[in-house]
Structure 1
């Protein structure tokens, strides 16, 4: 990578992702209690364990950079908590769709930014974004439920669209409030048209996920 990356921007990204992984652990552990079967509960518990492992890897790296992990995460707490409060699932299936669609969109966003980083941080971000097995599990559960109840697709499609709207709004707010991240993204993609293409790629991936679930994007 020829263009130097501001180390403060790297810290911002790792801090945002570390808090995202911590909240993912909290949410999966909570959603596991809504599981209709013990096997489903166990599956989510294993995934929650993977997320807290990712959180540990990120906080370890922040420590190596001489940064307090709590201080690095703090600026992102309000936005991420606001997103999760406004999209709290009321059912097991809503929780699965949120994790698959909402987290998938966030993963695409972080993966795009990771491509702009030098190693070892690029490799670390890609490592913690790797699928923990949740995607296939969510698809199987949601598609089976849809097959059994024809009323579900409409309701879950609306839920999925709400999730992406909230996620995009919060992502834009985070970027607007953190100049170093904005500079990293704009500089890495070339210009504002590059940012627009990045958003188009993320939106296209979201549309494909909704279709994989059997829902209308």
Structure 2
């Protein structure tokens, strides 16, 4: 699990879902009150996208054939484009991206190290599930940003991430080796907890769980439902 220096990690209780990943509560939460300071949001989201790019670049470097390399390189390029869009927003407000991203480097680097997996297929699944869940989260959290930036950031993050190639590679591998599917299902279930810890850290009152959990739980329920749909699409049990 992800840890932070100097304090014990917060425990994230995953909301319960029914068998098809549909939330037991249909309440739509006003997430505006949960949004962090704008620079906090942009710095963390920008470094997350840079991390997705780095992970996909690693997948490109270790891909088994040229066709896989070509497809994954396109997905990596889209993650890098989103990163550049976010750091443009940082510079537009007179800040240096490296300084704004720096506070998030230790925890996010640790997260990537712990979720890169033991082989190429686990790495692909981490990029697909972890990257997808975090993009869903930051899009949702952008509702609470100033109106001159929130919709623009949401549109940017919501652009096609080129993950169809990851789905294709994973589905083909699972079809060829059913035992791989069982292992990847276990890996996918582990990923959701680690990724939710990163999402939890983006909220300004994450150190006061008693006052925040009742508002955060429905948001996490939505995220886990989307995660479950991605798992279902691969034929994996969430």
Normalised-by-shorter TM-score class: 0.7 to 0.9
- 2:96 is equivalent to residue 96 of structure 1: no
Name the counterpart of 1:213: 234
TM-score normalized by the length of structure 1:
0.84
1:50 to 65, 78, 84: 78
Unaligned 5+ runs, structure 1: 176-180
Unaligned 5+ runs, structure 2: 1-31
User: How many residues in Structure 1 have an aligned counterpart in Structure 2?
Assistant: 205
- 2:232 is equivalent to residue 204 of structure 1: no
2: CA distance, partners of 1:131 / 1:156: 27
CA contact (8 A) 1:47 1:133 kept: yes
Q: Cα offset for 1:108? A: 1.5
Name the counterpart of 1:164: 192
- 2:164 is equivalent to residue 142 of structure 1: no
1: CA distance, partners of 2:81 / 2:109: 20
**Of Structure 1 and Structure 2, which has the larger fraction of its residues in helix?**
1
1: CA distance, partners of 2:100 / 2:155: 20
1:9-66 residue CA offsets vs partner (Å, 9 max, x unmatched): 1111011011111122211111101212211101111222222222222111111112
Q: How does 1:74-113 map to 2 (within 5 A)?
A: 74-113=102-141
CA contact (8 A) 1:100 1:134 kept: no
Name the counterpart of 1:178: none
Relative contact order higher in (CA < 8 Å, ≥ 6 apart): 2
